[in-house]
Amino acid sequence: MNASSGSRARLKSSAAIAGSLFLLALGSACSKADQRPKTLLAVFAHPDDEAFVGPLLSHYARRGVRVQLAIVTDGGKGGRAPDGAPAGRDIASIRADEARCSCHELGIEPPILLGFRDDELGRPNDPPAGYLAEVVQAVRGVLARSSPDAVVTWGPEGGYGHPDHRLVGDVVTELVQAGLKGVPSRLFYPGLPEDRVRRRPGDPRWAVTDARFLTVRVPYDEKDLAATRKAFACHESQYPADRREALVSWLHETLGGRLCLRPWFGGGTADDVFALPAP
């Protein structure tokens, strides 16, 4: 072999090696992209709403999912300053701290607090012109920045019918069904199965959902229940200690170890919000 032939052979060999290394690097990058943590975004109306899906949020956070919570209102119309709260602090700032405490106990990211006025979202004539449009824009911004793989929010019944709950769920659903870029179609409403709810004196008067529609049932365990109990304990301005414990016990008794969800897009049964194929 002459010098020229040897040079060409070495060049071909170097090119082949470089190509192989490029393909390996590309495959590694794709593999890492495929393995990136999924994101679950919860969007609710008030600080303390998240505690009612606490087992779900804790379950996914402990499994490495990026769990985010957006709270639309400041909660300033509800509750009272807990014992020991500094004088002069308004309820809204207290509830913001309680939401941060709750997220910490659930193991999820700090809350995204949008700060709209409490108890006004669902009043057709009360908010000033454009107020609802501002809410829609703010929630749209959260969805765009979060780029979640799945979203959970209040269903049409709003849990127990609170107008703010209903409207927040409506806004999220409107944005999802618009098919906006970056907004996932995996949208879920939490529900209480009609066949498990007991109507005893003192139990919460929540709406129920026919069990056949609650086709996604995500299991949770004692660690998730304990995290939910601690999350509820953060909301001192809303519930006395005995009421907080009663709510967690009632929730666990009703759910029986599985957080029940209705897929907005319907169809399919699963034990994981990420398992159902998107429509």
Determine the Cα–Cα distance for residues 59 and 146; give it in Å rounded to an integer.
19
Least trusted range by pLDDT, from 87-96, 137-146, 237-246: 87-96
Looking at the chain, the whole-number percentage of residues with pLDDT higher than 70 is 81
Q: Which two tokens stand for residue 219?
A: 């299991």
235: three-class secondary structure by DSSP: coil
At 204 the pLDDT is: 75
At 262 the pLDDT is: 97
Contact between residue 237 and residue 91 where contact means Cβ atoms under 8 Å apart: yes
* pLDDT, tens only, 85-115: 554 468 999 999 999 999 999 999 999 999 9
Question: How many C-beta atoms surround the C-beta of residue 198 within 10 A?
Answer: 8
Least trusted range by pLDDT, from 8-12, 111-115, 135-139, 199-203: 8-12
CA atoms within 13 A on the CB side of 242: 1
DSSP state of 276: S
Q: Using 50, 70 and 90 to split pLDDT, how confident is the model at 83?
A: low
At 30 the pLDDT is: 45
Burial of 60 (0-12, 13-18, 19+ CB in 10 A): buried
